[in-house]
Amino acid sequence: RPGPLKWLVAGLAGLGMMRTTRPTANTEAELSKSGLRVVAMRTAGGRRKRLGVPFRSCMLTGRHRFKIIKRTYSEKKNKIWWRPNTRWHNFWWEKEQKWVRLFVSAAAIKECDYVGLENMANKAGLDLYAWCKPHWEPGSKQPLCLKVGSTLQAARDRKYWKNYEAQLNKGKALADIFPKLGEKPLTKTQKRRAWKVWTPPDDSSAEAPERLEVNMKEGE
């Protein structure tokens, strides 16, 4: 909603007079175990951007737009954007018996039919337990970007996934298992700097050494 209408809707949502998130389940009976529907942000600058898959990028395969050269009949070059066939799709999570709404491509939907949702999420690095929570609840933020992310931060986080992938989709969100979000192990340089830092000893509890009394005679 561009223009003043977008500001009006945002103002009404801030005052609590309008709900901006729509239910994702198709019927009233399709509810999650906690009694809440699956809520997902539909803006590219929100949760999906923090996961490293902004704009029209697929959340399971990482497909995103890129430039190609299309030639005409007269061999004239035309640079155009190739965009994947992405859309919001509801997946049934058999393990938790609820619907999960993801922004995926058509190829990801076909692959998910053969492999399964959880296997695809583990391969992509998507925490389904954190994604199913509303974005305002604690534990809904994922510590690292997706493995298939296309942003610079996603490329930096790939080397830290070996410390988190063993606990991915194991019954709890990663934020609940690791309370300190974004805590990454120290690098070799940081460990070396921490080891070189010298702290003076605390001598407040140590007893003072005994003083030697020496009788000094005059003339000696």
Evaluate whether 71 touches 77 at the Cβ level (below 8 Å): yes
Neighbours of 13 (CB within 10 A): 13
The b-or-e profile of 204-213 (16+ CB within 10 A means b, else e) is eeeeeeeeee
pLDDT band (50, 70, 90) for residue 107:
very high
Q: What's the pLDDT at 189?
A: 77
Q: What's the pLDDT at 104?
A: 93
- For the entire predicted model, the pTM comes to 0.61
Least confident segment among 19-23, 126-130, 168-172? 19-23
Contacts of 186 (CB under 8 A, 6+ apart): 194
Which DSSP state fits 110? H
Asked whether residue 175 carries a pLDDT value surpassing 90, the answer given is no
Q: What's the pLDDT at 205?
A: 56
Which DSSP state fits 207? P
Q: What is the mean pLDDT of residues 174-189?
A: 68
Chain center to CA of 153: 10
pLDDT band (50, 70, 90) for residue 190:
confident
Q: Residue 99 region, left (φ>0) first, then alpha (ψ -120 to 50), else beta?
A: beta
Q: What is the mean pLDDT of residues 145-167?
A: 88
101: nearest Cα among 90, 112, 109, 85: 90
pLDDT digits (tens, 9 = 90+) for 56-103: 899 999 998 889 899 999 999 999 998 899 999 999 998 989 999 999
Longest dimension (CA), the chain: 117
Q: Residue 3 region, left (φ>0) first, then alpha (ψ -120 to 50), else beta?
A: left
State the average pLDDT for the chain. 76
Q: What's the pLDDT at 1?
A: 45
Asked whether residue 159 carries a pLDDT value surpassing 90, the answer given is no
